[in-house]
Chain A
């Protein structure tokens, strides 16, 4: 499900089944060297989280993407977001990022780190299969948390 009025109504009615929040974390970088990479990896993250949503619609809520810059306090960012989602009643919160800076927080928070793949040069079919491969890597992470 997505973070919109209609889906959230369903979430509130079936809280016992929908227990996982997924937060895409695309990095905002405006510098000449970083801007293209920043946009491309944000596209990748959003396509991937949308695909996760399609597969696990009945158990996850994908929040709007959280843009951050290198200068922001990343620990605080994760903490604040995780806190609110816990208040909302989510048992598990996963952050999805392609920035290595976040993988160091993996002890405290569930950060799924994936190397960004440039999707812009691919056609629809190719994208599907690439995202499918990525998803297969993520599923064990989910089932491990869900099973515990």
Chain B
């Protein structure tokens, strides 16, 4: 029926190529995977974290919103809880970082009784206006940073820190 019968030599060639191919693939696959690994790696920091803050409950008065994410520091994994000062400016949601631009303390809204409508840093009496602008003649040299924000099913999501966009 068929004239081209497979000779013993051909058969061995085919099987060897096949098996060899598998073996080569077995070796090369992990290498390729390692080579492209940096491309496939998930970007840290750019992800949004869901908070328990309902968007509808936000007002023009800044409130402290906690959010927790996992931080890996060498071999030490920990859940870090951070917070943001969040308020509504018209329809826009503003989330300011509480980290003082002087030496990194945590600022509080209305922390100084004399200035209830400013952010106050308890360490060296730094003050910021509501939009994060540092009050001149207090130690901080720049405005508070901002968080990127998103909404999901009526709840607030907080993203990465960006330089303040409201203070020119």
Contacts and interface: CB of A to CB of B under 8 A. Distances in A.
B81 A59 contact: no
Contacts of B159: none
A139 B122 CA distance: 9
A91 interface: no
Given A59-B123, A128-B66, A17 B103 contact: yes
Interface in B79-132: 79, 81, 100, 102-106, 121-124
A58 B123 contact: yes
A55 interface: yes
Contacts of B66: 125, 128
A57 B122 contact: no
Contact of B81 (A128, A139, A143): A128
Contacts of A143: 122
A58 B104 contact: yes
B139 interface: yes
A139 to B, nearest CB: 7
| Chain B interface, >50% SS class | loop
A105 interface: no
A10 interface: yes
A55 B124 contact: no
B68 A124 contact: yes
Contact-residue bracket for chain B: 10 to 19
Contacts, number: 41
Given A128-B66, A139-B122, A18 B81 contact: no
Interface in B15-64: none
A68 interface: no
Contacts of B68: 124
Chain A interface size, under 10 / 10 to 19 / 20 to 34 / 35 or more? 10 to 19
Contacts of B139: 17
A128 B123 CA distance: 21
Contacts of A59: 103, 105, 123-124
A57 B79 CA distance: 19
A17 B139 CA distance: 10
Interface of B: 66, 68, 79, 81, 100, 102-106, 121-124, 139
Given A56-B123, A58-B124, A125-B66, 20 more contacts: A10-B103, A14-B103, A17-B102, A17-B103, A17-B124, A17-B139, A18-B103, A55-B105, A55-B122, A57-B104, A57-B105, A58-B102, A58-B103, A58-B104, A58-B123, A59-B105, A59-B124, A124-B68, A124-B81, A143-B122
